[in-house]
Amino acid sequence: MRNLFCRASAALVVTLPLALSAALAAPAPLAPRPGWAIKPTDYTFAQLSDRLDKAIADAKMNLVNSASASQGAKAQGIVIAGNRVVGVFRNDFARRMLTASIPAGIEAPVRFYLTEGADGRATLSYRAPSDVFAPYLTEGGAPLRDLARELDAIFAAIAAQATAP
């Protein structure tokens, strides 16, 4: 019995890391969800990342921050699928937002999300700014709603430029 237990334990030690690394290497794609725009592309992760940066600049918006789990993993010698979160905003929008609702400030900058699929193609996703700011409309009223709608158009234009064939 002990020998059987040792073999089973050894098999688990060998197969569990393989199963975990396979799960990390090929995550499920983002599924449609309310308030989100999900745009699969034929671009590589690096190509889409560069295209997004250019589209943000062309829209006269600011790339406020960027975080990449895949770059962090790479620095530790681990390879995972491309993953980048990009915060986008502009000071005039920030001032208008804060005039309408101080609590809404936690949502700025609004983010784009780049992910790499198992096939090497990248997807650009984001929550529509009107969805992001919806919980604050009770206090922010029409000024915040109008700002969010304006940002909806800007984010849609950035996404369209970045993902265009």
The pTM for the full model equals 0.82
Q: Report if residue 16 sits inside a domain.
A: no
For residue 148, the model assigns a pLDDT of 98
Ranges in the chain, pLDDT < 50:
4-24
How many angstroms separate the CA atoms of 34 and 128, rounded? 9
pLDDT of the residue at 27 = 59
What is the H or E stretch that residue 115 is in?
Answer: strand 110-116
Amino acid found at 56: I
Say what the pLDDT of residue 2 is. Answer: 55
Supply the pLDDT for residue 31.
87
Residue 87, Cβ neighbours under 10 Å: how many? 15
Any domain includes 26: no
In a domain, 11, yes or no: no
- Determine, yes or no, domain membership for 9: no
Quick check: is 25 in a domain?
no
pLDDT at 12: 41
The structural domain count of the chain equals 1
CATH of the domain at 105: 3.30.310.70
* DSSP code for 121: E
In this prediction, residue 90 carries a pLDDT of 98
The model's pLDDT over 95-130, given as tens digits with 9 standing for 90+, comes to 999 999 999 999 999 999 999 999 999 999 999 999
Q: Is residue 6 part of a domain?
A: no
1 occurs within a structural domain: no
Asked if the structure places residue 24 within a domain, the reply is no
- Are 68 and 45 a contacting pair, CB within 8 Å? no
Helix/strand/coil for 126: strand
Q: 44: domain range? A: 33-163
